[in-house]
Amino acid sequence: MLNWVHSHKQSLKYIVGVIKNKEGVSTGQFIDESYSGINDEATPLRIFKPQTAKKTTFILFPGASPFAEEHPGMIGLATTIMNLGYNVFIPRIPPLKALSVKSENIEWFARAYEQILCRDDVDETKVAIIGISFGGSLLLKATLDERIKSNPPRSMLMYGSCFDLESGLNFLLSGEIKHNGKIAHIPPNDWGLTVLFHNFLKEVNTGFDTTAIQTILAARVAEKLDEVERLKAELNEHDLVLVEAVLSGKYNSQIKKISHQIIKSQKDVLDEVSPSSFCKNISMKVFIMHGANDSMVPYTESVKLGDNLPNNKLLISYIYEHKEISTNSGFITKLNELIRLEQFFAAYFRYNES
């Protein structure tokens, strides 16, 4: 009974913390350390520690973002969890920081997890992991790596993640969502085309030299915006039109042609890291959450995860977006959704502390 009451208190505190963070109230108090990376290089590790920590540790793995552990959303989430009394770790995953959505991330996830569990301030029997967006799909694959599988986390939370990377990337091109025989459209995130072309443009034959475009996309991913503008000024008109379309997320005929060429040619690469190809082998508890209005990954991807993962709990939220809780809904809708959120996170915290 006490565990049930405690879990609902934790859930309410968590939701209030997330809302406050949206309004800029929550600030991160953290320590920057490092862990030993794949080649033993010192790799950034951001740590959030409450004054008195509970035994459960949360490891937050960022999505594909140049901000990595410095992303304001990750800092806000970690701060909120820390304020509940838990230690929180955010390891940098270098390929994800470079916006790679390929299998090279798997090795890094397993390495970071293994290194964090070796710490004196971590109880290796009470660890929960969280994966965001495309990073969540890659992290799920990493749980099959022996370094994680031999000492598995208590649970995994996937937020806004893909079941099938091919269909997830196709959404970024069209914004089309198909579910229960109905078709809806959501304007896809502008960042989507940059992710796609940065990862795979060099892998296809477009009929013209794309070296300069690849260089600009790499600079954009690295947040070197002045260099992006300088390099754009050196492009011919054809290449400039293409790169402007990619960076602004505009889906013109040329973008459509190259995008479908990329997705078709990279099918095996995408299948390798798509949960659709391995989720039946996942035995641990997986909590799945997705915002119905997510503009980066369609919520139908999480519905498919819920249909195929053997041991999961799914929530599709109509006020939770890709980054945060929306406060624009009507009162009744907001109240009903907050109740559903509270019940979901109460079950989440109760499971991880049991």
E strands in the chain: 31-36, 42-48, 57-61, 87-91, 127-132, 155-159, 176-179, 182-185, 285-291, 312-317
According to DSSP, the residues that pair with 182 across neighbouring strands are: 179
pTM over 0.95: no
| pLDDT score of 308 | 97
Q: Where in the chain is the domain with CATH 3.40.50.1820?
A: 2-164+274-353
Convert the pLDDT of each residue in 116-134 to its tens digit: 999 999 999 999 999 999 8
Calpha distance 87→68 (Å, rounded)? 19
Most distant CA atoms of the chain, gap in Å: 69
Q: What CATH code is assigned to 2-164+274-353?
A: 3.40.50.1820
- Phi/psi for 268 (5° steps) reads -65, -40
| pLDDT score of 52 | 86
According to DSSP, the residues that pair with 206 across neighbouring strands are: none
Whether pLDDT at 1 is above 70? no
Calpha distance 334→180 (Å, rounded)? 24
**Buried residues in 234-245 as b, exposed as e (16+ CB within 10 A):** ebeeebbebbeb
| pLDDT score of 22 | 61
Convert the pLDDT of each residue in 80-128 to its tens digit: 999 999 999 999 999 999 988 889 999 999 999 999 999 999 999 999 9
User: What is the average pLDDT across 345-351?
Assistant: 96
Between the alpha carbon of residue 187 and those of residues 180, 234, 295, the distances in Å are: 20, 31, 6
How many residues appear in the chain?
354
Calpha distance 213→203 (Å, rounded)? 13
Calpha distance 211→90 (Å, rounded)? 34
Residue 192, both tokens: 């989507």
